[in-house]
C-alpha cells in the first residue's frame, strides 16, 4: 500500500460509499415512492446540501458561523429570479435589472450561477469577517444573517420584499437533489482531506501549535467559508425550486437553528456526521410535526394541538447533545474510520512510496553547513512591572545543540516565545540568518525555517499521528503527497512508525512530546527550539530522546535550542549551555564548566551549597 494518501484506499472507499448510497436511495424513492414522500425526501436532501456547507466551515475550523444561511438565501433568490418568467418578474420585482428579469434559465444553469454568486458573496463578506477574532466570528456572522434578512425584506422592488416570491418553477425532483447531494458529499470529503482542509483542522485542534507550523488562520478560514457559501447557495437554489415559494424568513433564524442542530447532532467534525444528523433530525422533525396537529398515543392518551412542538423538540435534542454527547452520533468519524473498519486497517503500517525510499536521507529545506545563525541581541521584556528578560543575547548556529537552563521564573520560555514570534520584546532584536525578524509572526518564522515545541505537548488530538505530522509540512507549503512521505520518514526515525494511523490524542504522554518534535521537524527547520522535551520521561526514555536528537542534528543539520531541567539530558546532548537567572545570562560555557560553576549552583540551590559547605 503506497503512502501517497493519508488514508488507505480501503478507508477512503468506505467513506465514499455514502454519496453512492444517497444517490441510490434517491433513485429508489423516485421510482417507487408516493409524491408526498418524494417531496419530503427532496427537501431533506436540499437541507443536507446546506448542512454539508455548514460542515465544511464549522466542522473543520471549530468556529461557529451563524450566517451561512444568508448564502443559502442569496443562492435561492438568484436562482429564483433567473428562472422566473418575465411576466412574473414584472409583477413581483418591477425594478429588477432587465437582463435578469427577462432571463428564464433552466434549473442546472440557474443553480450554477447561484452557486457562483453565493461563493462570491461569501468571499466578499468573509474577507473582513475572518479577520476578526475567533470569538467575534459567531457574532459578526450572526449580524450578517440579520443584515441579509433586513435587505431582502426591505428591498421590495428587487426582491419582492417580505411577501417574497411565488410561482417559481418547481423543477427539482428527488433524483436531481440526490445527485447534487452526492456531489456535495464528495466536495466536503475532498476538502477535508486536502492540504487546505488539514491546515484548517490544525487550527481547530490547537491554534497556537498551528501558527507555529506556518498556518495562516485567516486564509484557511476564508477558503472554507467561501466553499461553504457555494454549497449553501446550491442548497438554497435547489430548495426553492422544489417548494416554488420563497420569502426572507425561509432561510433565517429558524432554519439556521435547524441546520446547526442537524450538524451538531450528527457530529460536526465529520461529513458522515452531517449526513447522519440531517437524516436523524429530519425524521424526528417529521414525527413531531405529525403530533403537532394533536393525536393520541396508543388510542389512550390524547395530546392536543401544539404548534411549535417540533421546534421545541429539536431545541431539546440540541441541548441534550451538547451536554451529553458533544461529538454527536458519528463521534466525529467518517464512514471509513468507524471502529470495526479501523481495527482491521490499523495493523497495516503506512509505508513510504518507492521514490521517497530512494532518497532516504532527504529532507526538504534544511541546508547543512551554510553560514548564518539564529541570534538574539539585547532582548528585554517587562511584564506587569516585572522584568522577565534583561538584555539577553543568544547565538545558535545550525548543527549545534545549545542548552538553556535556569531556575523557575528565569525567563527561558519567554525568550523562546520572543525568538519564535509569540511575544514581542520591549527592546532588542532577533536575527534569522542575518535578516531581522523581531516583528515576524510565528507562521512567517516557521515558513522561514524556525520550528519549536511547547511545554505542554499541544497535540492535534483529533487527527491521526501521521496526519498531525504531515500537516506540519503542509503548513509551510509542501504538497500533500510529499508531506506524507516526509511525515512517515520523520515518524520512523522517532520510533513512532507503528502508531501512524492511531489518533494523536490517545498517545501516551511521552509519544505526544515526540509527536510535537516530529511535527516541528516536518516543517524542515534550520533552527529548532525545544521547550522541556524531556518533562515526564523516565531515564530510559530520556536516553532515547538524546539519541534521537543527536541523529536529528546529524541528518537534518539544524541547530537545536533546548530548554531543559533534566541536567542529564542537557549534559549529554549539548555542546554549549547558557544559564539564565532572573532574566539575565549568568554564563555560557561547556556543560562541565557550567556544572561546576558556583554561580550556577547558587542560582539553583542557594549560597550554602555553592560554597561547598554541604556534601
Helix axes 35-54, 9-32, angle to 10 degrees: 150
The number of C-alpha atoms within 13 Å of 404 and in the hemisphere containing its C-beta is 28
> Do 467 and 193 contact (CB within 8 A), yes or no?
no
Q: How far is the CB of 283 from other proteins (least distance, A)?
A: 19
> Do 107 and 172 contact (CB within 8 A), yes or no?
yes
Nearest to 257 by CA among 51, 52, 63, 71: 51
> Do 494 and 518 contact (CB within 8 A), yes or no?
yes
CA distance 356 to 34: 56
Q: How far is the CB of 150 from other proteins (least distance, A)?
A: 4
> Do 415 and 379 contact (CB within 8 A), yes or no?
yes
Q: How far is the CB of 596 from other proteins (least distance, A)?
A: 9
Q: Which is nearer to other proteins, 365 or 387 (CB)?
A: 387
Phi then psi for residue 393, to 5 deg, are -115, 150
Q: Which is nearer to other proteins, 203 or 480 (CB)?
A: 203
Q: In the chain, helix, strand, coil percent, each to 5?
A: 60, 10, 30
CA distance 335 to 197: 18
Q: How far is the CB of 390 from other proteins (least distance, A)?
A: 13
Q: Which is nearer to other proteins, 299 or 606 (CB)?
A: 606
Q: Which is nearer to other proteins, 179 or 571 (CB)?
A: 571
Q: What is the 3-state secondary structure (H, E, C) of 340-376?
A: HHHHHHHCCCCCCCHHHHHCCCCCCCCCCCCCCCEEE
Q: How far is the CB of 274 from other proteins (least distance, A)?
A: 15
Q: How far is the CB of 519 from other proteins (least distance, A)?
A: 16
Q: How far is the CB of 126 from other proteins (least distance, A)?
A: 11
Q: How far is the CB of 488 from other proteins (least distance, A)?
A: 25
CA distance 376 to 383: 19
CA distance 26 to 468: 37
DSSP secondary structure, 101-145, as one string: HH----HHHHHHHHHHHHHHHHHHHHHHHTTS-TTHHHHHHHHHH
Q: Which is nearer to other proteins, 166 or 567 (CB)?
A: 567
> Do 86 and 102 contact (CB within 8 A), yes or no?
yes
Q: Which is nearer to other proteins, 434 or 536 (CB)?
A: 536
Q: Which is nearer to other proteins, 406 or 525 (CB)?
A: 406
Q: How far is the CB of 547 from other proteins (least distance, A)?
A: 17
In b/e form, how buried is each residue of 597-606, taking b as 16+ CB within 10 angstroms? beebbbbbee
Q: Which is nearer to other proteins, 460 or 556 (CB)?
A: 460
> Do 515 and 542 contact (CB within 8 A), yes or no?
no
> Looking at the DSSP assignment, which residues form a beta bridge with residue 528?
451, 560
Helix axes 136-154, 68-83, angle to 10 degrees: 30
Helix axes 195-205, 465-475, angle to 10 degrees: 110
Q: How far is the CB of 593 from other proteins (least distance, A)?
A: 10
Q: Which is nearer to other proteins, 42 or 507 (CB)?
A: 507
Q: Which is nearer to other proteins, 275 or 288 (CB)?
A: 288
Residues ≥6 apart with Cβ < 8 Å to 561: 374, 394, 396, 402, 404, 416, 419, 527, 528, 529, 530
> Looking at the DSSP assignment, which residues form a beta bridge with residue 381?
389
Q: How far is the CB of 308 from other proteins (least distance, A)?
A: 4
Q: Which is nearer to other proteins, 388 or 474 (CB)?
A: 388
Q: How far is the CB of 609 from other proteins (least distance, A)?
A: 5
Q: How far is the CB of 477 from other proteins (least distance, A)?
A: 26
Grid cell listed for 325: 454527547
Nearest to 39 by CA among 228, 239, 231: 239
Q: How far is the CB of 389 from other proteins (least distance, A)?
A: 13
Nearest to 75 by CA among 320, 251, 199: 251
Q: How far is the CB of 63 from other proteins (least distance, A)?
A: 7
Q: Which is nearer to other proteins, 13 or 305 (CB)?
A: 305
Grid cell listed for 360: 532516504
Q: Which is nearer to other proteins, 437 or 504 (CB)?
A: 504
Q: Which is nearer to other proteins, 106 or 326 (CB)?
A: 326
Q: Which is nearer to other proteins, 108 or 319 (CB)?
A: 319
- Residue whose grid cell is 401544539: 306
If residue 30 lies in a helix (H) or strand (E), which one and from where to where? helix 9-32
Amino acid at each position: 500500500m503506497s503512502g501517497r494518501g493519508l488514508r488507505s484506499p480501503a478507508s477512503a472507499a468506505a467513506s465514499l460509499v455514502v454519496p453512492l448510497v444517497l444517490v441510490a436511495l434517491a433513485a429508489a424513492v423516485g421510482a417507487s415512492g408516493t409524491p408526498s414522500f418524494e417531496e419530503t425526501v427532496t427537501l431533506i436532501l436540499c437541507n443536507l446540501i446546506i448542512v454539508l456547507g455548514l460542515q465544511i466551515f464549522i466542522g473543520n475550523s471549530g468556529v461557529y458561523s451563524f450566517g451561512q444561511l444568508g448564502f443559502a438565501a442569496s443562492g435561492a433568490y438568484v436562482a429564483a429570479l433567473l428562472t422566473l418568467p418575465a411576466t412574473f418578474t414584472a409583477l413581483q420585482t418591477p425594478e429588477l435589472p432587465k437582463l435578469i428579469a427577462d432571463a428564464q434559465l433552466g434549473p442546472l444553469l440557474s443553480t450554477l450561477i447561484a452557486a457562483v454568486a453565493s461563493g462570491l458573496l461569501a468571499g466578499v463578506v468573509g474577507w473582513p469577517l475572518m479577520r476578526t477574532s475567533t470569538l467575534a466570528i459567531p457574532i459578526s456572522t450572526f449580524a450578517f444573517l440579520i443584515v441579509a434578512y433586513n435587505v431582502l425584506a426591505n428591498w421590495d422592488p428587487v426582491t419582492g420584499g417580505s411577501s417574497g416570491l411565488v410561482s417559481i418553477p418547481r423543477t427539482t425532483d428527488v433524483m436531481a437533489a440526490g445527485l447534487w447531494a452526492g456531489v456535495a458529499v464528495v466536495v466536503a470529503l475532498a476538502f477535508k482531506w486536502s492540504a487546505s482542509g488539514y491546515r484548517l483542522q490544525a487550527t481547530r485542534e490547537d491554534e497556537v501549535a498551528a501558527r507555529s507550523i506556518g498556518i495562516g488562520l485567516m486564509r484557511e478560514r476564508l477558503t472554507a467559508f467561501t466553499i461553504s457559501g457555494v454549497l449553501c447557495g446550491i442548497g438554497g437554489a435547489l430548495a426553492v425550486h422544489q417548494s416554488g415559494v420563497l420569502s426572507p424568513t425561509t432561510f433565517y433564524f429558524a432554519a439556521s437553528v435547524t441546520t446547526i442542530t442537524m450538524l451538531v447532532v450528527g457530529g460536526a467534525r465529520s461529513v458522515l456526521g452531517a449526513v447522519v444528523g440531517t437524516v436523524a433530525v429530519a425524521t424526528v422533525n417529521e414525527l413531531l410535526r405529525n403530533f403537532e396537529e394533536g393525536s393520541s398515543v396508543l388510542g389512550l392518551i390524547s395530546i392536543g394541538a401544539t404548534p411549535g412542538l417540533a421546534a421545541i423538540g429539536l431545541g431539546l435534542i440540541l441541548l441534550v447533545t451538547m451536554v451529553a454527547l458533544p461529538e454527536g452520533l458519528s463521534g466525529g468519524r467518517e464512514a471509513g474510520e468507524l471502529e470495526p473498519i479501523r481495527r482491521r486497517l490499523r495493523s497495516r503500517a503506512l509505508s513510504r512510496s518507492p521514490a521517497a525510499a530512494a532518497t532516504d536521507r532527504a529532507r526538504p529545506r534544511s541546508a547543512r553547513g551554510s553560514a548564518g545563525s539564529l541570534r538574539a541581541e539585547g532582548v528585554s521584556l517587562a511584564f506587569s512591572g516585572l522584568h522577565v528578560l534583561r538584555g539577553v543575547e543568544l547565538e545558535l548556529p545550525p548543527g549545534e545543540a545549545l542548552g538553556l537552563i535556569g531556575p523557575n521564573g528565569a525567563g527561558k520560555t519567554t525568550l523562546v516565545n520572543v525568538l519564535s514570534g509569540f511575544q514581542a520584546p520591549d527592546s532588542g532584536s532577533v536575527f534569522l540568518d542575518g535578516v531581522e525578524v523581531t516583528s515576524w509572526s510565528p507562521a512567517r518564522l516557521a515558513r522561514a525555517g524556525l520550528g519549536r515545541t511547547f511545554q505542554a505537548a499541544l497535540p492535534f488530538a483529533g487527527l491521526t499521528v501521521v496526519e498531525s505530522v504531515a500537516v506540519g509540512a503542509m503548513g509551510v507549503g509542501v504538497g500533500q503527497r510529499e508531506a506524507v512521505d516526509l511525515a512517515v520518514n520523520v515518524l520512523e526515525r522517532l520510533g513512532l512508525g507503528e502508531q501512524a494511523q492511531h489518533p494523536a490524542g490517545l498517545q501516551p504522554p511521552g509519544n505526544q512530546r515526540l509527536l510535537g518534535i516530529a511535527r516541528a521537524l516536518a516543517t524542515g527547520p534550520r533552527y529548532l527550539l525545544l521547550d522541556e522535551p524531556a518533562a515526564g520521561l523516565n531515564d530510559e526514555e530520556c536516553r532515547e530522546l538524546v539519541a534521537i536528537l543527536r541523529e536529528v542534528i546529524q541528518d537534518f543539520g539544524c541547530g537545536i535550542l533546548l530548554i531543559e531541567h533534566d541536567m542529564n539530558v542537557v549534559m549529554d546532548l549539548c555542546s554549549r549551555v547558557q544559564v539564565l537567572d532572573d532574566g539575565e545570562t549568568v554564563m555560557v560555557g561547556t556543560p562541565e564548566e557550567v556544572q561546576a560553576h558556583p554561580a550556577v549552583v547558587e542560582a539553583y540551590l542557594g549560597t550554602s551549597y555553592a560554597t561547598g559547605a554541604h556534601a
